Amino acid sequence: MNFEKNILITGGAGFIGSHVVRRFVKHYANYRVVNLDKLTYAGNLENLRDIEDSENYRFIKGDICDAGFIQKLFEEYQFDGVIHLAAESHVDRSISNPMAFVETNVIGTVTLLNAAKSIWKEMSGKRFYHVSTDEVYGSLGDEGLFTESTSYDPKSPYSASKAASDHFVRAYQNTYGMPIVLSNCSNNYGSYHFPEKLIPLTINNIKNNEAIPVYGKGENIRDWLFVEDHARAIDVIFHEGKEGETYNIGGFNEWKNIDLVHLLCDIMDSKLGREAGTSRKLISYIKDRAGHDMRYAIDASKLKDELGWEPSLQFEEGLEKTVDWYLANQSWLEDVTSGDYQNYYKEHYQS
């Protein structure tokens, strides 16, 4: 079958990546979608079981840091576009092992850029889309929002590695004429989320009557974005975003961590038929994370005004939909909460 475009999506077996892969496979039958993933602890092909036999989909296991492998991949498929999501993404893990984040997030990104630069002799019609995070901007006070012009001020090894990769992507545009777009998103939630992150961790622990760890006093504030809305935003930016531009993607939706946990407790009590207030008793305040940013909040008005994107769900609706998914997919949750996750959870949250 002849395809109009060959698209490489890195990290496509992960949480956000799997939603992006699914959207592109289902919406663009004329694209060949190549999903490249190393299948580390957070990558799971079960996330894509529903589209794995699609004619326009191909999965390849591989490491974005392997320059020879990446070069051969670009030569074989002659990619027209790259949507780069592969990354180490958990702040706690970056504190304990920062070098892994430098290798994947910085060196891996530059390896992909080098391959694209080598193959794309003619840049017209090509696009390298780098997916980043709002954490590169640092921490906000009580007021204000991150905009696309906010100065970078990363506070953790994770956010520093993502900031570095952002800078390399822009440098390749400025130096080599690489046709790029970037986006920086707020915290995502939804189905297929690896349960070391706040929302799936809380759902899983409530279900199992285990302690719910909350850093500090739980007063840190995050802006939450439904992952399917994020995938839709990536679709819009990839196809319609202006070359060289950055777009912030947020849910217009700020919550204190403790208020979010309380809401999840109440939803879970209702879903599980427990007495109101039962799950709140599981909350356990633990020592705050080193360098814990107090508040993130995204101004996504540029994306809305220029490309017409806005969130589709109110947070409470999206959260209830997310809870329903986890309760209906117990086998998926049990599979991913074995092995590496169990060891990590005990080390960081049960000490």
Is 300 within a domain? no
CA distance 285 to 116: 47
Cα 201 from Cα 204, distance rounded (Å) = 5
pLDDT averaged over every residue in the chain: 92
Within a 10 A sphere around the Cβ of 173, how many other Cβ atoms?
A: 18
Residue 150 lies in a domain: yes
The answer for residues whose C-beta is within 8 angstroms of residue 254's C-beta and 6 or more apart is 221, 222, 223, 295, 297
DSSP codes of every residue in 196-214: TSHHHHHHHHHHTT--EEE
Residues belonging to the active site: 134-135, 158
pLDDT value at residue 348? 45
From the centroid of its chain, how far is CA 261?
20
- Whether the per-residue pLDDT at 314 is higher than 90: the answer is no
Overall pTM > 0.75: yes
216 and 168 fall within a common domain: no
Q: Let me know the angle formed at the C-alpha of 176 by 179 and 122, rounded to the nearest 5 degrees.
A: 60
Does residue 282 share a domain with residue 183? no
Q: Are residues 63 and 176 in the same domain?
A: yes
CATH of residue 112's domain is: 3.40.50.720
Question: From CA 112, how far away is CA 238, in angstroms rounded?
Answer: 17
Q: Is residue 104 located within the same domain as residue 235?
A: yes
Kindly report, residue by residue over 24-60, the tens digit of the pLDDT.
Answer: 999 999 999 999 999 988 889 999 999 999 999 999 9
Tell me how far apart the alpha carbons of residues 8 and 79 are, in angstroms, rounded to a whole number. Answer: 6
Verify that 157 and 51 share a domain, yes or no.
yes
What pLDDT is stored for residue 343 in this prediction?
52
Domain span at residue 267 reads 198-221+255-290+315-342
Are 270 and 155 in a shared domain? no
296 compared with 241, residue with greater pLDDT = 241
User: What Å distances lie between residue 314 and 36, 55, 225, 226, 328, CA to CA?
Assistant: 32, 35, 10, 9, 21
